[in-house]
Amino acid sequence: MPRLSRRHLLITLGTAALTLATRPLHAFAGVLNKILGQAAVTSTQPITPNEEFYLTSYRSPPTIRVYDWSLSIKGLVERPMTLTYEQLIAIPTVSQIVTLECVGNTIAGEFISTAEWSGISLRTLLEEAGASATAYDVIFRAADGFSDGIRVDRAMAGDVMIVHRMNGVPLPQGHGFPARVIVPGCYGMKSVQWLTEIEVVDQDYKGYYPQKGWTDEAIVKTTSRIDVPGHGTTLRGRRHQIKGLAFAGTRGISLVDISTDGGDRWTSATLDPPLSPAAWSFWRHDWAPPSSGRYQLVVRATDGTGRLQTSIEQDPAPDGATGLHEMTVTVEI
């Protein structure tokens, strides 16, 4: 991403909460999909329309008026600063297509979507503020009381963004208006919405979900999903297309295999090039079943490091679901 020069940042010098609750993980895992979010309509488009992008927040989205809002950068920085909305949007934007997935997403679940996000690189902002080289974590705090943090080296990698636009329009209220964080390759919890404060600290910080026992590292697991045909479908005729998506965050997807016999034999599917290194991959496979009958379809992906997606089934808690997506279809030739 292009670097921004100092004169591009209109900054004002200035000076610039934590809730520890314990709840059993199993109780939490069960309600995450039902209470904390609403699944969007299944969409197999490479970019999810804003109205269909999945929603997750631990309470209802705050209503923020831009003239009441500011973003402060504080802590271990040489030049603490506060940006108004006007100042933030005046900075030349960079854009990146990034897939977000909730850590609570189940195998083949709907809590995964992709958008083009526009804003500024966090690295630029931290360099501008003079973040300490010896710092450990960067904490993001939000207007709804939510917070989370990432390691300073991750924050400085250049691909972490502070965004104020989503698919070409200002961030919708339900997706973090007026500004949010985007951390490619991490579960959605790190992409703090309704952002108000960035603090650089010299110790490990545990955010809202990590405090409750969820993963702090939050690196997405490799996942894949069959979208077409649907489970239980009856397919008529000799030729059919099986298709779906796969995602492994910033590791990317190198291979998708499909099995039509419950996982005994595998064939590689055709992969579409992803829209960005941080976006999901679409795959398809032309299938000519040899005879009528019932078939067990299974998909598995290999990430960009050559690691095969595990078939071991694990619930979303505490660090993301694993297992393969399987479904039964009936063929009538």
Q: What is the 3-state secondary structure (H, E, C) of the chain?
A: CCCCCHHHCCCEECCCCCCCCCCCHHHHHHHHHHHCEECCCCCCCCCCCHHHCCEECCCCCCCCCHHHCEEEEEECECCCEEEEHHHHHHCCCEEEEEEEECCCCCCCCCCEEEEEEEEEEHHHHHHHHCECCCCCEEEEEECCCCEEEEEHHHHCCCCCEEEEEECCEECCHHHCCCCEEECCCECHHHCCCCEEEEEEECCCCCCHHHHCCCCCCCECCCEEEEEECCCCCEEECCCEEEEEEEECHHHCEEEEEEECECCCCCEECEECCCCCCECCEEEEEEECCCCCEEEEEEEEEEECCCCECCCCCECCCCCCCECCEEEEEEEEC
- Window 129-158: residues binding ligand MTE (CB under 6 A): 142, 144, 146
Could you tell which of ligand MTE, Mo ion, none binds residue 222, using a CB distance below 5 to 8 A set by kind? none
The listed partner (Mo ion, ligand MTE, none) that binds 160, CB under 5 to 8 Å by sort, is: none
Identify which range of 183-191, 239-247, 260-268, 270-278 contacts ligand MTE by CB under 6 A.
183-191
Out of 70, 96, 114, 193, the only residue in the binding site for ligand MTE (CB under 6 A) is: 193
Interface residues for Mo ion in 262-291 (CB under 5 A)?
none
- Based on CB atoms, which residue is closest to Mo ion, 109 or 178? 109
Residue window 34-53: x/- pattern of binding to ligand MTE, with contact defined by CB under 6 A: -------------------x
Which one of Mo ion, ligand MTE, none interacts with residue 112, CB within 5 to 8 A by kind? none
Our finding on whether 186 is near Mo ion (CB under 5 A) is no
Q: Which is nearer to ligand MTE, 75 or 109 (CB)?
A: 109
* 194 vs 287, beta carbon nearer ligand MTE: 194
102 scored as a contact of Mo ion (CB under 5 A): yes
Q: Using CB under 6 A, which of 33, 48, 56, 260 touches ligand MTE?
A: 56
Q: Which of 91, 162, 163, 192 binds ligand MTE (CB under 6 A)?
A: 192
Binding site for Mo ion (CB under 5 A): 56, 102, 188
Binding site for ligand MTE (CB under 6 A): 53-58, 100, 102, 142, 144, 146, 175, 188-189, 191-194
